[in-house]
Structure 1
């Protein structure tokens, strides 16, 4: 029998969860235009919208915030963050930003010229937006199996080296400023990348004079999967696996709101001295001084401590296994989910869940809305709405994966909460024939999933 580790922490502070009637939730959802992003958190029972910034910080992190040095320049907390960043990630330079998309903005502005191509292992919404806004075209070079939710492979986040070589042959290496390698791959279901694949990508990229930058947002989760699934790493510490992973990149963007275990913050890392000089100049324009980058000193201190806690073997095992426990319950009940279960979330396959709703009527968006109506559980769409439109043709991108993401905040919920959410998903699956599609009543011009509004389709 499979076992799951108990929580490796004690609960010191509690926050009440609000319960509402179905009729009340239906009214809330209608007012929010059937968009879970527009529902207030106080109207949510179990909030699985995102794992970004929703972490429960530790007593040591809260204590660390009391020694925040709020100096405008040269904060001692920045120096601590720099020291920890070098120790655990291995990069020479670190530029703090207010969150991950701040780092994405800096990287895109520093590296991209109009007409460039940025290949990556599946797009992410804000990442692709910054790349396209600076004149690049994104190319998906993830392995084909990543687009099949039912394909069970240990490293579905891997880059297809043949696809990468084909792009180099097609456009020329000079048109590819860097490869964006996500570890793990969010929109593939939180799927990891193998160490062997990272090593091979770096070798091919550097042979052609192309840099490799990681989206390192969930890099510790990726390191755990390498320990659990890749030959030769079972007895290696997660922190050492993480350090080796980073050695195959020229730098990274980081949203500290995930694996750094904080509520706000991020950074851009690199080894190149010239790039660092330019990044220091650019961060002043968009974020703040190079030694705070839009963050308070106390936030940088919490992030430095969070980095050290994130590689604790007991913490990361429980983190991954709690998500796996939730996913296993759904699989056992026949609910279609992305397999294998990823690191930060369980993804419902809305195409298989609601086969009677065509993708043009937004099945994932509708499924997320109806899960909230029936249970008070808030999730989010990761399908055609998130994919957006082609900037040249205006046509909807139609990803093969039409998913609802149930994202587990770190150190927040217990196994009992996972039972409640699983039961809600199973009940909704049994009644799935009653769910109808949606139509736009308001469509924002960019990153539409945040603010779009919908109504029940005819």
Structure 2
């Protein structure tokens, strides 16, 4: 018989350790949500059935990663774990200087603490929450320059994360002295987990060279982005994912990384660059805030786990399963009539709450209202990516975000297909009763990153 491709998605791993889940009732969940100020970040994880709040640090580690943890060496300086971590990173990202950090936002804080400041402007395809916060905390301005298709949830452009190169050229033509670097986020989380093409990154590189500006990657989901290049961009179908990653890295001058995403770690990150002088300033800042440069706020065992996770992240059997299982959720919701961002991203499916709840104006937070309903009705915890997260400007004026989305972020190697089938049932049920969902008003909020701790009440 000839080889055939079967349609059933199977996980390319076996499960040999499980964590029990506590089943909850609707009334109990409604009570827990009220106690948390209607903020899903305030829930106890034991009160959540399917936790799709984030894919950051929530994945399951492999047996090889657990074995690597046993090899972890906790020497303060120059431990073997550091060298294994360094070599694994440089197999994919061969930058001259590598500074480990306890997570991605620490790398952002160090970088923008050095290059940012009042009067500076940092362009990006789309800054995510902590990136924007760290840019703005330094006094700089964060400018989003995603292509117009990136703001259109129903547009099926294959690389909706692309940076608008013409807009970047225009910005640099008028404000080049104010721009310390250009950043590109792969994949573009805020815009629905959408990838960036190599052609777009090359064009961005050309504009950066024209004005003498360094190009940095926010590369948290580099492997998923590389898989989309392999499957969507002409000329890359036969190229190994690891080689595509190296081609992405070769176009950049540096990077920030949260190792809690594609590198399959539960904690960790790094900052890397080629510029010697910038690296020295960042290293000094890192010693002040993270620790000695060969551990950077991480235990040796964590460095070893990341070293193994990086190799597993570019395994093509794993990536095929990862992307296909995410699209399985998206296809089912789209078939059921739930408005979702297309094409589907790699790490999450994004529901267009503004389209699903047209009776709620953006300043009544349709995304957050929908996320609360998903939890109460089925115990599914998700995350609003919209006006709650991005609506407050640096001038203190609240405005609608470009889109109001609800992100169903799928932890890596954690849930089975039956968990996803249950999630489909919950979302479909809530969508059928969308007109019953009421708006929310914000009661309390911090000055920055308000979505983490703000509290709400019904309108």
Shorter-chain-normalised TM-score: which range? over 0.9
Q: Map 1:10-29; keep pairs closer than 5 Å.
A: 10-29=14-33
Instruction: Provide the residue aligned with 1:342 in structure 2.
Output: 345
Match of 1:159 among 136, 159, 163: 163
Matching of residue 117 in structure 1 with residue 118 in structure 2: no
Matching of residue 275 in structure 1 with residue 278 in structure 2: yes
Structure-2 separation of matches of 1:18 and 1:433: 30
Instruction: Provide the residue aligned with 2:305 in structure 1.
Output: 302
Give 4+ residue runs of structure 1 displaced > 3 Å after superposition: none
Q: Map 1:437-452; keep pairs closer than 5 Å.
A: 437-452=439-454
1:254 aligns to what SS in structure 2? strand
TM-score by length of 1: 0.98
Q: Summarize the Cα distance change of 1:397–1:290 in structure 2 as closer, same or farther, 3 Å threshold.
A: farther
Structure-1 separation of matches of 2:399 and 2:308: 40
Matching of residue 3 in structure 1 with residue 7 in structure 2: yes
User: Displacement, 1:5?
Assistant: 3.4
Contact between 1:4 and 1:322, CA under 8 Å: does it hold in 2? no
1:351 aligns to what SS in structure 2? helix
Instruction: Provide the residue aligned with 1:205 in structure 2.
Output: 208
Structure-1 separation of matches of 2:103 and 2:8: 32
Contact between 1:220 and 1:310, CA under 8 Å: does it hold in 2? yes
Contact between 2:123 and 2:145, CA under 8 Å: does it hold in 1? yes
1:198 aligns to what SS in structure 2? helix
Structure-2 separation of matches of 1:280 and 1:76: 20
Instruction: Provide the residue aligned with 2:224 in structure 1.
Output: 221
Structure-2 separation of matches of 1:404 and 1:113: 32
2:450 aligns to what SS in structure 1? coil
Contact between 1:124 and 1:187, CA under 8 Å: does it hold in 2? yes
Match of 2:314 among 303, 307, 311: 311
User: Displacement, 1:170?
Assistant: 2.1
Instruction: Provide the residue aligned with 1:235 in structure 2.
Output: 238
Structure-1 separation of matches of 2:209 and 2:288: 31
Contact between 1:100 and 1:256, CA under 8 Å: does it hold in 2? yes
Contact between 2:391 and 2:401, CA under 8 Å: does it hold in 1? no
Contact between 2:58 and 2:266, CA under 8 Å: does it hold in 1? yes
Match of 1:45 among 43, 46, 49: 49
Q: Map 1:163-174; keep pairs closer than 5 Å.
A: 163-171=167-175, 173-174=176-177
1:398 aligns to what SS in structure 2? coil
Structure-2 separation of matches of 1:9 and 1:236: 24
Matching of residue 137 in structure 1 with residue 112 in structure 2: no
Instruction: Provide the residue aligned with 2:151 in structure 1.
Output: 147
User: Displacement, 1:114?
Assistant: 2.1
User: Displacement, 1:2?
Assistant: 8.8
Structure-2 separation of matches of 1:221 and 1:165: 28
Contact between 2:92 and 2:249, CA under 8 Å: does it hold in 1? no
Structure-1 separation of matches of 2:258 and 2:206: 26
Instruction: Provide the residue aligned with 1:76 in structure 2.
Output: 80
Structure-1 separation of matches of 2:89 and 2:380: 36
Contact between 1:388 and 1:448, CA under 8 Å: does it hold in 2? no
Q: Cα deviations across residues 163-197 of structure 1 (Å, max 9, x unaligned)?
A: 001111222x2211111100100010000000000
Instruction: Provide the residue aligned with 1:55 in structure 2.
Output: 59
1:94 aligns to what SS in structure 2? strand
Structure-2 separation of matches of 1:228 and 1:222: 10
2:22 aligns to what SS in structure 1? coil
Question: How many pairs align?
Answer: 455
Q: Map 1:226-265; keep pairs closer than 5 Å.
A: 226-265=229-268
Q: Cα deviations across residues 415-445 of structure 1 (Å, max 9, x unaligned)?
A: 1111110111111110111110001121111
Instruction: Provide the residue aligned with 1:190 in structure 2.
Output: 193
User: Displacement, 1:291?
Assistant: 0.7
Contact between 2:127 and 2:185, CA under 8 Å: does it hold in 1? no
Pairwise CA RMSD: 1.1
Instruction: Provide the residue aligned with 2:325 in structure 1.
Output: 322
TM-score by length of 2: 0.98
Instruction: Provide the residue aligned with 1:67 in structure 2.
Output: 71
Structure-2 separation of matches of 1:225 and 1:314: 14
Structure 2 gaps of 5+ residues are none
Match of 2:181 among 172, 178, 183: 178
User: Displacement, 1:397?
Assistant: 3.7
Contact between 1:4 and 1:325, CA under 8 Å: does it hold in 2? no
Structure-2 separation of matches of 1:18 and 1:320: 28
